[in-house]
Amino acid sequence: MREWLGAMVTSAVVHVDPQTLRFSLPPEHAAFLTRAAAADNIAVFTQYVGLLGGVEDDVVDCFKSGGGVPYERFPRFHALMAEDSGQSVLSALESHILPLLPGLVEHLRRGIRTLDVGCGRGRILVRLAELFPNSSFVGMDLSEDAIEAARNDASRRGMRNLEFVAMDLSDFDERAEPESFDIITTFDAVHDQARPLNVLKGIHRALRRNGVYLMQDIKGSSHVYNNVNHAIGTFLYAVSCMHCMTVSLAQGGEGLGAMWGEEKTREYLDLAGFRSVEKHELAHDIQNNWYVVRKYE
């Protein structure tokens, strides 16, 4: 405890009174370190350090021999990701994210079909399905474990208007049911796919004519020289190198990486057939851009 406090004091997180030797955590510091603080809690992100440290040797081997590190080597990933998107998405869902699409809340109240691609443990869909019982929701993800956790969560709450499907979306361009959803979302779930362009083509195919695709994905440029002064560029490239890119490579995938950037995002959306892309930035989420994407101008 003493040594841990030493680290906390010398990093200016905790204060020490030299007279009484009492340690204190100022409330304005606590606000950035506790789960109750919702979007401001930077401690959630620091958990990635331990997660990524666990695969350091595997990643070093990939530098020498090629290939990637598979999801199975990151046992805590989906739990941590659910906490991460709990902050960047759930904490602002009703206040900032749903209002990105004018009229959406009314449509959801009346009843529409929504798909979340790469849904992980499905917390966002569970919240939406609770808020809007007349709408129906589908979540798809590669991970059987994450899908099982999502299903258990939904059944614990007795929910009937959502369904979770475990599937590899690498050929979603061919498998997606045409024009079957009004709203499709991805929350940080395109860049680490094996075949991101096929996923986007599948989303285009599955979206109804007047449907909207809402995409949250990492904020940055596709060109490293533009990211030199990026506030959290080092963190994002490091997470990408040791997770996002490598899990895609392990599936024999493209290995786009988290820092595929806005230019590449727009290029892929165009190749997938989308003709209207509006970018939004939300103050609570320094890590991502929010794209509102439509099939037609």
Ligand X SMILES: C[S@@+](CC[C@H](N)C(=O)[O-])C[C@H]1O[C@@H](n2cnc3c(N)ncnc32)[C@H](O)[C@@H]1O
User: Which residues, 6+ apart, have CB-to-CB distance to 36 below 8 Å?
Assistant: none
Choice from 69, 119, 176, 214 touching ligand X (CB under 6 A): 119
- Region binding ligand X by CB under 6 A among candidate stretches 5-13, 14-22, 149-157, 188-196: 188-196
How many CB atoms neighbour CB 253 within 10 A?
A: 17
- Under the binding rule (CB under 6 A), the answer on residue 164 touching ligand X is no
- Under the binding rule (CB under 6 A), the answer on residue 194 touching ligand X is yes
- Under the binding rule (CB under 6 A), the answer on residue 236 touching ligand X is no
Our CB check for ligand X shows the closer of 14 and 144 to be 144
The least distance separating ligand X from the CB of residue 188, rounded to whole angstroms, comes to 4
- Under the binding rule (CB under 6 A), the answer on residue 251 touching ligand X is yes
- Under the binding rule (CB under 6 A), the answer on residue 187 touching ligand X is yes
Distance between CA atoms of residues 166 and 146, nearest Å: 9
- Under the binding rule (CB under 6 A), the answer on residue 207 touching ligand X is no
Choice from 118, 196, 220, 257 touching ligand X (CB under 6 A): 118
Indicate the length of the chain as a whole number.
297
Distance between CA atoms of residues 70 and 272, nearest Å: 27
What does the angle CA 240 – CA 206 – CA 81 come to, to the nearest 5 degrees?
30
- Region binding ligand X by CB under 6 A among candidate stretches 11-19, 95-103, 162-170, 221-229: 162-170
Our CB check for ligand X shows the closer of 118 and 220 to be 118
Choice from 55, 128, 141, 239 touching ligand X (CB under 6 A): 141
- Under the binding rule (CB under 6 A), the answer on residue 82 touching ligand X is yes
In angstroms, what CA-CA distances link 79 with 85, 109, 125, 146, 212?
A: 10, 30, 16, 8, 28
The least distance separating ligand X from the CB of residue 173, rounded to whole angstroms, comes to 12
Q: CA quadruple 99, 103, 109, 111: dihedral positive or negative?
A: negative
Choice from 173, 192, 217, 262 touching ligand X (CB under 6 A): 192
- Region binding ligand X by CB under 6 A among candidate stretches 1-9, 29-37, 164-172, 267-275: 164-172
Choice from 170, 240, 246, 287 touching ligand X (CB under 6 A): 170
- Give the ranges where the chain is alpha helix by DSSP (H): 2-10, 27-30, 43-53, 56-65, 77-88, 104-110, 123-131, 144-156, 172-175, 196-206, 233-239, 245-250, 261-271
The least distance separating ligand X from the CB of residue 126, rounded to whole angstroms, comes to 11
Pairing verdict, β 113-117 and 136-141: parallel
Confirm if 108 and 127 have CB atoms less than 8 A apart: no
The least distance separating ligand X from the CB of residue 7, rounded to whole angstroms, comes to 29
Choice from 51, 62, 69, 81 touching ligand X (CB under 6 A): 81
- Under the binding rule (CB under 6 A), the answer on residue 242 touching ligand X is no
Pairing verdict, β 23-24 and 15-16: antiparallel
Distance between CA atoms of residues 127 and 68, nearest Å: 34
The residues that touch ligand X, with contacts defined as CB under 6 A, are: 81-82, 85, 118-120, 141-143, 146, 168-170, 187-189, 192-194, 251
